[in-house]
Amino acid sequence: MTTVEKKNIVAKSTASAINGGEAVALAMRQTDPEVVAAYPITPQTFIIEKFSEYVSDGEVNTEYINVESEHAAMSACIGACAAGGRAQTATSGPGLALMYETLWIASGMRLPIVLHLCSRSFSAPINILCDHSDVMAMREASWVMLAGSNPQEAYDQALIAPTIAENPRVKLPTTNVLDGFTVTHSVERVDSLPDEVAKEFIGEWEPDQWALEPGSQATFGALDANDYYFEHKRQQVEALDQAELVVKAQLSKFSEISGRKMSVIETYQMDDAEIAMLVLGSSEGMVRAAIDLARKDGIKVGMVRIRLLRPFPVHDLRAILAGISAVGVLDRAIAFGAPGNGLVLDVSTATRTMNPRPLLANYVYGLGGRATVKQQFREAISDVVKVAETGQEPMKPEYLGLK
């Protein structure tokens, strides 16, 4: 047992060697949802297998529903949440594609469902390994999206997610993104909070008076043609704006309890950096290693990792990149036919009015689970140095490790 003390808050954490999927299942048990509905799909299966064991062993008071598809899984969660229950599910790649319609229904109904997304490539050709194609496909569905980099963060964010979704200022579904296999199947040390501390942090879910219960006059899923549909979508914009403040507050609160500092953007070696590499997800470790190599060669480079993908933390990113001459943006998905890939488009829009604006170079890597070694990231750093020196921003992305 280890003890962490922060601002008079003491939490005893238990260290375990578990994989990221089991870490999420543990957090789900501590969250104690009324309903979990899911369909098994690799690499998500570890989460649901372990959680179903908790249910079978009577360690959690949850109605676990074996459904026939991911569309049905989210539909069941929508019904359970509309009835006032805390509901969660998990999926990967093709499963997310199958439930895509219902993602928009959940957010449009303002239902605080939690989804654990184990990122996986889309077919064809058939591939079950990690990239961020499913993550990028979900960005416009009005969900709050948190992306971790290791099993510890998968656990932490699984506890934090419901406190964001259920906040009265937000009331939007929230996604906990963990990279398939790299995080879901990797066994690492995970420090978990005691059940009572976790439950106190999460709190009891108190649904509004709109919950579907006997005597309720609430309506869900009614026709909303050209009269107020536009206004309802605008309200979701405002909710996501509020969500950024709530995410920051909950990350800060959890940091005090756990002793693990968390923020919407994580950085490495940025204090004196002149250029930067920007990344999402579990490739952080390899990028750090490449930065260490470059630092030995005298290159002042740092790393920026986006944790909060939606709403995108524009102001925080601009503050971090102030004074940076060039940024290498690492995308693990292709936006086919677009002028840039998903992450670089977000960064480009966020920085477009900065003066001076950092030059951007885009790199695609790791599609279909392909390993990208530190030397390849190191070579990308050298490219970014050239961009900074020449002032010439490349028009097209480079592809790291392409045969």
Q: How far apart are CA 346 and CA 333, in angstroms?
A: 13
Q: CA 194, CA 197: separation in Å to the nearest integer?
A: 5
Q: Which fold has domain 13-258?
A: Rossmann fold (3.40.50)
Which one of 3.40.50.1220, 2.60.120.10, 3.40.47.10, 3.40.50.920 gives the CATH number of domain 265-399?
A: 3.40.50.920
22 CB burial (10 A radius; 0-12, 13-18, 19+):
buried
Phi, psi of 42 (to 5 degrees): -70, 135
pLDDT per position in the chain (403 positions), as tens? Answer: 444 444 445 578 999 999 999 999 999 999 999 999 999 999 999 999 999 999 999 999 999 999 999 999 999 999 999 999 999 999 999 999 999 999 999 999 999 999 999 999 999 999 999 999 999 999 999 999 999 999 999 999 999 999 999 999 999 999 999 999 999 999 999 999 999 999 999 999 888 767 888 888 888 888 998 999 999 999 999 999 999 999 999 999 999 999 999 999 999 999 999 999 999 999 999 999 999 999 999 999 999 999 999 999 999 999 999 999 999 999 999 999 999 999 999 999 999 999 999 999 999 999 999 999 999 999 999 999 999 999 999 999 999 999 9
Strands 144-147 and 308-310: antiparallel
Strand-by-strand arrangement of the 359-364 sheet: 265-268, 301-306, 275-279, 326-331, 359-364, 398-399
Domain parsing of the chain, residue ranges: 13-258, 265-399
pTM, full prediction: 0.95
Q: What is the pLDDT of residue 9?
A: 58
Facing residues of 147 across strands? 177
Measured CA distances, 391 to 148, 355, 376, 386 (Å): 33, 14, 22, 8
Q: Tell me if 13-258 shares its fold with 265-399.
A: yes
Residue 383 CA to residue 361 CA, distance in Å, equals 8
User: CA-based angle 149:153:158, to the nearest 5?
Assistant: 125
